[in-house]
Amino acid sequence: MDPEVRARLLGLKLHALVREHFGDMEPEAQAGLSVGAASSHGDTAWVLIEEHTERGLGVALAWASKRAVSTVHVLAADHTATLARRATQFVTDVKVWKVDGIAITPAAPESLLPEPTPSSDHLAFVDTIRQSGADVVVEHGVVTGEVVGLEVCRVVDDPVTGAHRLEVGVGEHDREAFAMMHGDTPTTASLKRIVDVVARHRAEGADPHPLNRLGAERALRARVIANPGLVGARELHAVASPTPRPNLKDPIPCVAVGITNEGAPMVAVFSTGIDLDVVPFAADARVFHESTIGKDCELVVVVPARDASPVTVRMADLLRRPARIVGL
């Protein structure tokens, strides 16, 4: 659909929902957004999220924060429980509504599920990953090996036999192709060769290559973990995000936890590009990990210096508990 036509249709849909459920009023400001549409009247704003709904809260708050509004109504068809949970972390009065056709109902916050732990059979591959030169990363029960933030291997269960094995490659399709071409090569030797190739391409100053375009936020995490003093930490290690990442290609913020130079617990969230939802995501990550590292932990959002935008700082200032933005 033509973007302008789509924007007009979403604007009409939002206006119809507002008129039906909040009273007949003409919007004083309205706009098409990357995820949907928005309008405001007086001290109230309404934002309809139609795309990437689980990461739409930041877009809604970024638009609303430019206007003198005290209440923001967020309307979406799915992931509303996640949006409602993340909304509780902000001083702005955010009300999340689940849209079903022309009906809307209040959305209740959904608690974060505990992170599953990997089986002992999967953890048995940790030494092999380390011996190859890759970093062991365990997220949501999955054991992987990364080189400067890029996944190069993963422990999986055979769907037919149930056997546990370490697959080598960048992404599922690459792992399948690698197994077909090098199935008779010992896993340790195969992995070491891949690690050496990926490390060369992901070294600072390396020429542009597909292997250094993926996972820029994870490369940033690896850089800071190697030198935690960059963000005022004594030590940091990679941990899971609040929810599993869907794939290797889409940029999703990643997380590390550790200890500040003063000895306090820290949650660090890493992102690249102008990500309007990084602050809600980071606040969610703090909630996810504070049960294990401590309630009074410092939250740091780490981005490349060019991406430390005023809107990101403004979003951090809206949190009930402050966050620090660090541009590197």
The confidence score (pLDDT) of residue 71 equals: 93
- The DSSP symbol for 212 reads G
- Taking 50 as the pLDDT cut, the residues of the chain under it are 180-181, 184, 186
Q: Would you give the DSSP letter of residue 309?
A: -
Let me know whether 133 and 229 are in one domain.
no
Residue 187 sits in the same domain as residue 235:
no
Write out the H or E segment, with its range, that includes residue 324: strand 324-327
Q: What is the DSSP letter of 185?
A: S
Q: Which long-range CB contacts under 8 A does 320-327 form with residues at least 24 apart?
A: 320/89, 320/90, 320/91, 321/89, 321/283, 321/286, 323/279, 323/282, 323/283, 323/299, 324/298, 324/299, 324/300, 325/300, 325/301, 326/230, 326/231, 326/232, 326/300, 326/301, 326/302, 327/303
Question: Same domain, yes or no, for 221 and 294?
Answer: yes
The string of pLDDT tens digits covering residues 193-242 is 889 989 999 998 889 888 888 899 999 999 999 999 999 999 999 999 99
Determine the structural domain holding residue 170 and report its residue range: 120-201
Q: Do 223 and 303 lie in a common domain?
A: yes
Contacts of 215 (CB under 8 A, 6+ apart): 149, 150, 151, 248, 251
pLDDT value, residue 94: 95
Do 65 and 166 reside in the same domain of the chain?
no
At 8 the pLDDT is 83
Q: What is the CATH number of the domain that holds 293?
A: 3.40.1350
pLDDT in tens, 159-202: 888 888 888 877 665 655 555 445 545 467 778 888 998 999 99
Residue 236 maps to a domain: yes
233-239: strand order across its sheet: 233-239, 254-260, 265-270, 298-303, 324-327
Domain count, the chain: 3
143 and 91 belong to one structural domain: no
CA distance 65 to 177: 48
Residue 209 lies in a domain: no
Give how far Cα 106 sits from Cα of 75, 94, 100, Å: 9, 11, 11
Residue 114 lies in a domain: no
Residues 164 and 229 in one domain: no
Residue 183 falls inside a structural domain: yes
On whether residue 115 sits in a domain, the answer given is no
